[in-house]
Structure 1
Amino acid sequence: MKKIMLLSATAALLLSSCVSQKKYAELEAQQKETQDQLNTATVKLNSCLDEKERLNQQINQLSNQNSALLNNVGDLATLSKKEAENLERSLESIKEKDMKIQRMQDAITKKDSVTLALVTSLKGALGNLNDEDIQINVEKGVVYVSISDKLLFESGKYNVSERAKEVLGKVATVVKNKPEIEFMVEGHTDDKPIRNAVLQDNWDLSVKRATSVVRVLQEEFGVEPQRMTAAGRSYYMPVATNETAEGRAKNRRTRIVILPKLDQFYNLIEQGMKEAK
């Protein structure tokens, strides 16, 4: 009977880990797709800038030709009708490109402003904590909050400590004030193997730590569950070497990943393009 119960518990843990990994893979694919869209928008912006430069060169060339004609004849009437039309078309084209570029830059500026406001709010809420215990940084428009293992959990455990709940409460206050954002909680371990009656390996430990954090945010601080995803990374994304105690301590962490709303960013660009026409 004990063997059957143990096998059932192990199967449940494996199923939980698989579901978390599948969900994480879907989110990772979605983030890659939105990053590709951002790269495409950047290429279009660079293309507009190149086109503007080409048109400016054309304007300069026409202006030089016009100056030469005026110098030779001394009369504005020598400017041909065709050249005047070319000059007018070039000026209109530059004006249109300027409007499109400005709309794109406005959208990028607004997105950066939202990210900056979020980082400022998080740092303001968590500013009194040691930099070794919690770090906030931005990479490619994504905000990461990394919390050390020693602040959240006891060694080899996945129950959130009472001291850590104070930190999570501050994070919850910030994200609850920004209902438009979604985020993922990632569990990370070092490479020291673990196995007991509850945990099969480091995958299990990382996933259960992530779900523990999500559960605290939902049940104790009222964060909407549909805005959160729990995922485990085991020891496969280290930030330091696992050959030293200091490195392993850095690798044992929980990371909150604020997922960017890139669809809103592209809506701003598309709206700007329509208005520029």
Structure 2
Amino acid sequence: MRKVIFMFSLAALTLTSCGTKKKLAELEQKNKECQDLLNSTTVKLNMCLSEREALEKQNEYLKKNNSELINNVGNMTTLTQQGAANIEKALESIKEKDLKISRMQDALTKKDSVTLALVTSLKSSVGISDPDIEVNVEKGVVFISIADKLLFKSGSYVVSDRAKEVLAKVAKVVNDKPTFECMVEGHTDSVPFTGNAVLLDNWDLSVKRSTAIVRVLTKDLGVKPSQLIAAGRGEYVPLVDNKTAENRATNRRTRIVVLPKIDEFYEMIEKEMKKQ
């Protein structure tokens, strides 16, 4: 009986042991699966953490970049406003320059008309029509150039009788403007002067001719001495080269330079323009 009981107990223990091993194996399998799942989840978590860290860094970079962009936009706005102001100033400056250029061009056009009117007026007022007498206006100065053949004999500084008639007309111009100064310039050709022991060279001849004209204007024609300046230029300011007799005759001349005061000169111009 005891033997039978022992056999039944052993069989029950054996069956119980087999069931426990099976359950243990199942638990171990589940534990393994859970461990694998944990490991996989840990890896994914670490990846997510790394991605989050990268995203946080990128977010910080974007925030910083956005702040810099906002500052740059502000700076660009300031620069744009300043650039617009500079462009406006530049355009105003260009307009002013264009206006000045336009005025200068108008003044040059007016000057040409005024010069013609003034020369015509001077010639008509003194009755000068001889081709050997030229009247010009340059830079506010009146030039009356008289060929020496109308004033002197060759190599002489004695004023001829015919010259006094011409100089009387010049004196009328000077006397009409008592505040003007007049410079009498003597000019010669390049042929060396050898005809008179008193004169050393063409310098002397040109000065002597200038002073001779001044004496006629003051003593005979009533021009105030304080208005006159005597000057000799010799052969050194020729109008043409001295290669031909005709050219040398052109260079032998006396030039009377009328030097008006600027305000009176423009007053005279205005009067002449009104006449036109």
Q: Name the residue aligned to 1:213.
A: 213
Amino acid at match of 2:261: K
Aligned length: 174
Q: Name the residue aligned to 1:192.
A: 191
The residue correspondences of 1:4-43 to structure 2 (distance < 5 A) are none
CA contact (8 A) 1:108 1:265 kept: no
Aligned partners of 2:166 and 2:215: how far apart in 1?
14
Aligned partners of 1:260 and 1:110: how far apart in 2?
19
Local SS of the residue matching 1:143: strand
Identity within the alignment, %: 62
Comparing 145-154 with 119-128, which one deviates more in the overlay?
119-128
1:54 to 76, 80, 92: 92
Amino acid at match of 1:226: S
CA contact (8 A) 2:135 2:145 kept: yes
Q: Name the residue aligned to 1:258.
A: 258
Aligned partners of 1:173 and 1:263: how far apart in 2?
21
Q: Name the residue aligned to 1:14.
A: none
- The change in CA–CA distance for 1:152 and 1:56 in structure 2 (over 3 A counts) is closer
- The change in CA–CA distance for 1:265 and 1:184 in structure 2 (over 3 A counts) is closer
CA contact (8 A) 2:184 2:230 kept: yes
**RCO comparison, higher one (Cα < 8 Å, 6+):** 1
Residue 154 (str. 1) matches residue 153 (str. 2): yes
Which structure 2 segments of 5+ residues have no match?
Answer: 1-88, 267-276
Local SS of the residue matching 1:256: strand
Q: Name the residue aligned to 1:68.
A: none
Aligned partners of 2:170 and 2:265: how far apart in 1?
24
Local SS of the residue matching 1:183: strand
Local SS of the residue matching 2:165: helix
CA contact (8 A) 2:186 2:255 kept: yes
The residue correspondences of 1:34-183 to structure 2 (distance < 5 A) are 54=92, 119-131=119-131, 133-183=132-182
- The change in CA–CA distance for 1:122 and 1:265 in structure 2 (over 3 A counts) is closer
Q: Name the residue aligned to 1:222.
A: 222
Q: Name the residue aligned to 2:242.
A: 242
Q: Name the residue aligned to 1:6.
A: none
Shift of residue 122, structure 1, vs aligned partner: 2.6
Aligned partners of 2:206 and 2:95: how far apart in 1?
58
Aligned partners of 1:228 and 1:138: how far apart in 2?
19
CA contact (8 A) 1:188 1:252 kept: yes
Amino acid at match of 2:181: E
Root-mean-square deviation (CA, aligned residues, Å) is 3.6
- The change in CA–CA distance for 1:56 and 1:206 in structure 2 (over 3 A counts) is closer
Shift of residue 129, structure 1, vs aligned partner: 3.2
Q: Name the residue aligned to 1:204.
A: 204
Local SS of the residue matching 1:233: strand
Amino acid at match of 2:238: P
Local SS of the residue matching 2:240: coil
Aligned partners of 1:181 and 1:143: how far apart in 2?
11
Which structure 1 segments of 5+ residues have no match?
Answer: 1-50, 59-96, 267-277
Superposition misfits of 4+ residues, deviation over 4 angstroms: 55-58, 107-118, 263-266
Aligned partners of 2:263 and 2:232: how far apart in 1?
26
Aligned partners of 1:115 and 1:210: how far apart in 2?
27
Aligned partners of 1:202 and 1:253: how far apart in 2?
13
Shift of residue 165, structure 1, vs aligned partner: 0.3
CA contact (8 A) 2:140 2:265 kept: no
Comparing 210-219 with 134-143, which one deviates more in the overlay?
134-143
Once the two structures are superposed, what CA deviation does each residue of 1:206-260 show, in whole Å capped at 9, x if it has no partner?
Answer: 0000000010000001000000000000000000110100110000000001114
Local SS of the residue matching 1:190: coil
Aligned partners of 2:151 and 2:141: how far apart in 1?
23
